[in-house]
């Protein structure tokens, strides 16, 4: 159990038969009346965000989230297959559980599988990936000064906006949280 006075960003709590992660919290002490804690909570199963206030002495059970490193093997239609490299157990997840988390992940790469009480709710890709550009418009001499971008398709099929000087078959580094181009490799 964790009291509302001890809330911090990133803590997961169980509330109303759901699991929430604290995105934002603020301890408010008005001039008149009792103090309270104002929070923004993200439902980790469906991604919805709610705002809720707590008295500082209220207690909530803290949710335990398991994050396990697994290897993304392949996808077969609507199912994505992952393997635990220690036990060689394989699990299959449907595309609803995956979302667009794997749009920058190649087969045989390591990802984190997040679960609560044995039910998987999210897949976390690595923070940065290096991918080869398979299709983009050619760059021209002198295109580097404008800061303009062009669409490029990487080897996983996702589209990334890259500077004009980046060419086809270049290897680039991408931030998977934002989907932005970082640099050439």
Q: Percent of the chain, pLDDT > 90?
A: 23
Given a cut of 80, is residue 81 above it in pLDDT? yes
Given a cut of 60, is residue 143 above it in pLDDT? no
- Chain-centroid distance, C-alpha 160: 17
Q: Of 128, 130, 137, 134, which is closest to residue 177 (Cα–Cα)?
A: 128
- What CATH number is given for 2-60 in this structure? 2.30.30.30
What is the pLDDT averaged over residues 99-124? Answer: 85
Q: Which helix H or strand E contains 60, and what residues bound it?
A: strand 59-60
Given a cut of 70, is residue 140 above it in pLDDT? no
Domain ranges across the chain: 2-60, 66-124, 128-184
pLDDT, one tens digit per residue, over 26-69 is: 998 988 888 999 999 988 877 789 999 999 889 999 888 888 99
Strands (E), 84-158: 90-94, 110-116, 119-124, 128-136, 149-154
Q: Tell me, which fold does domain 66-124 have in CATH?
A: OB fold (Dihydrolipoamide Acetyltransferase, E2P) (2.40.50)
Are 2-60 and 66-124 in the same CATH fold? no
Mean pLDDT over the full length of the chain: 86
pLDDT, one tens digit per residue, over 154-180 is: 998 889 998 888 888 889 999 888 888
Q: What is the pTM of this model?
A: 0.71
pLDDT at residue 98 in the model: 80
Task: Say which CATH class 128-184 falls into.
Answer: mainly beta
CA 107, CA 18: separation in Å to the nearest integer?
A: 32
């Amino acid at each position: 159990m964790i009291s509302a006075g001890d809330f911090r960003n990133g803590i997961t709590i169980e509330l109303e038969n759901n699991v929430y992660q604290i995105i934002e919290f603020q301890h408010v002490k008005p001039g008149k009346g009792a103090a309270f804690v104002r929070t923004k909570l993200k439902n980790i199963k469906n991604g919805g965000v709610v705002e809720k206030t707590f008295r500082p002495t209220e207690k909530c059970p803290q949710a335990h989230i398991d994050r396990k490193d697994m290897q993304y093997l392949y996808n077969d239609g609507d199912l994505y297959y992952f393997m635990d490299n220690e036990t060689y157990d394989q699990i299959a997840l449907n595309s609803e559980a995956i979302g667009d988390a794997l749009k920058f992940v190649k087969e045989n790469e390591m990802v984190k599988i997040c679960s609560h009480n044995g039910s998987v709710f999210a897949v976390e890709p690595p923070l940065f990936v290096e991918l080869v550009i398979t299709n983009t418009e050619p760059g021209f001499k002198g295109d580097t000064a404008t800061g303009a971008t062009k669409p490029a398709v990487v080897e996983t099929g996702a589209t990334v906006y890259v500077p004009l000087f980046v060419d086809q078959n270049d290897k680039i580094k991408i931030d998977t949280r934002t989907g932005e181009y970082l640099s050439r490799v």
